Structures are given as structure tokens and as C-alpha cells.
């Protein structure tokens, strides 16, 4: 039985620069590093309660220039189109990203209760920034959901800090 998504692993041509991006632009926390199976380091980064593992490319795997990004995904590739993160202030996050030269694939737009925009992070990783605008009957549940998410974040942080010493 699957209980949760454990982590997202990102190979980076410059892991330190990639970690700085997630920390400075998206508020992630670098928790530490552990040896990888290939002799390098796996860096644990907590982003909104989700564990990212960032490492250099393993021996024998060559980083390539990522293909051009379309709206929401790279124009060519396979598998994962993007991963989404939720924010309470999409405009502020986009402004912070623009300050460091990151552009949205398109201007933010809204579909139903979701306002969103896509950006490309280092190493060609496409991220969807999501801001919820729920109807009143669902908006009342947000404090409960946010409390649960905060508890998950703190629990994952405590556990991951022990793992990534």
C-alpha cells in the first residue's frame, strides 16, 4: 500500500546552485547531505513539506541542455511534465523569480478555482505555481488543510534532518 510520495530526486549539473535556487526563490530548506550510491552526495531539501533530493549526475550519465519549455512542460521529453507547488501569493513568488531572471512560460491564468503559472527551474525542471481561490463552502476547510500540511511539514522536517545529518 502506498502511503505518500516520499521524495522527488533531481539530478543537477551544479547541485549547490540548484539548492540555492530552491532556497532563495521558493523558500526551501537545505537539511543536509548523505553519501549517494555513486560516490557523490544526495542533498535533502524540504519544499512545502515535500522532500527533494538533489545530487550531481552519476558517473556515466551526461547532463544535456534541456529542450525548450512549452506552457507546463518541456516541448520534448518523456514522463513527468512538471511538479506543482501551492502558494498563497502567486504574484509575489513570480516577482521574486523574475528578480533572479526566471520567467513564467506564460502570464498567470485561472481555471475554475485554481490560478497558476509555470516556470522552469535549473536543470530544466518545470514547476507549476498554484494559488487556490475556493468557493466559500470549501474555503472554510483551508485552515484545517493548512494545519494538516504544516504538521506534515514539521514531521517530515524532523525525520529528514535525522536522515540528512
Neighbours of 119 (CB within 10 A): 21
| Residue 64 forms part of a structural domain | no
Write the DSSP symbol of residue 13. Answer: S
Which pLDDT score, from 0 to 100, does residue 133 have?
92
Which pLDDT score, from 0 to 100, does residue 71 have?
87
In terms of residue numbers, what domain contains 108? 7-57+76-163
| Residue 65 forms part of a structural domain | no
CA torsion through residues 23, 127, 96, 144, sign: negative
CATH number of the domain that residue 127 is part of: 3.10.180.10
Evaluate whether 114 touches 133 at the Cβ level (below 8 Å): yes
- Mean pLDDT of the residues in the chain: 92
| Residue 40 forms part of a structural domain | yes
> Which helix H or strand E contains 12, and what residues bound it?
strand 7-12
Q: Which residues of 18-43 are buried (b: 16+ CB within 10 A; e: fewer)?
A: bbebbeebbebebbebeeeeeeeebb
pLDDT in tens, 28-44: 999 999 998 888 999 99
pLDDT in tens, 47-76: 998 999 999 999 888 888 888 888 888 888
pLDDT in tens, 93-105: 999 999 999 999 9
The model carries a pTM of 0.89
3-state secondary structure 25-40: HHCCEEEEEEECCCCC
| Residue 68 forms part of a structural domain | no
- Taking Cα atoms as reference points, which of 37, 39, 32, 73 lies closest to residue 53? 32
| Residue 86 forms part of a structural domain | yes
Give the three cell numbers for residue 68. 525548450
Number of folded domains that form the chain: 1
Amino acid at each position: 500500500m502506498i502511503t505518500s510520495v516520499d521524495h522527488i530526486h533531481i539530478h543537477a549539473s551544479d547541485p549547490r546552485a540548484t539548492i540555492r535556487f530552491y532556497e532563495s526563490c521558493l523558500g526551501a530548506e537545505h537539511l543536509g547531505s548523505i553519501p549517494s550510491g555513486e560516490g557523490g552526495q544526495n542533498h535533502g531539501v524540504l519544499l512545502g513539506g515535500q522532500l527533494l533530493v538533489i545530487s550531481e549526475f552519476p558517473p556515466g550519465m551526461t547532463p544535456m541542455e534541456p529542450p525548450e519549455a512549452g506552457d507546463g512542460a518541456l516541448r520534448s521529453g518523456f514522463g513527468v511534465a512538471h511538479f506543482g507547488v501551492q502558494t498563497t501569493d502567486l504574484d509575489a513568488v513570480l516577482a521574486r523569480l523574475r528578480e533572479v531572471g526566471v520567467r513564467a512560460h506564460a502570464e498567470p491564468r485561472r481555471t475554475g478555482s485554481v490560478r497558476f503559472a509555470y516556470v522552469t527551474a535549473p536543470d530544466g525542471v518545470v514547476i507549476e505555481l498554484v494559488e487556490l481561490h475556493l468557493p466559500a463552502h470549501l474555503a472554510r476547510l483551508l485552515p484545517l488543510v493548512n494545519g494538516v500540511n504544516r504538521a506534515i511539514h514539521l514531521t517530515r522536517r524532523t525525520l529528514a534532518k535525522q536522515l540528512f545529518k
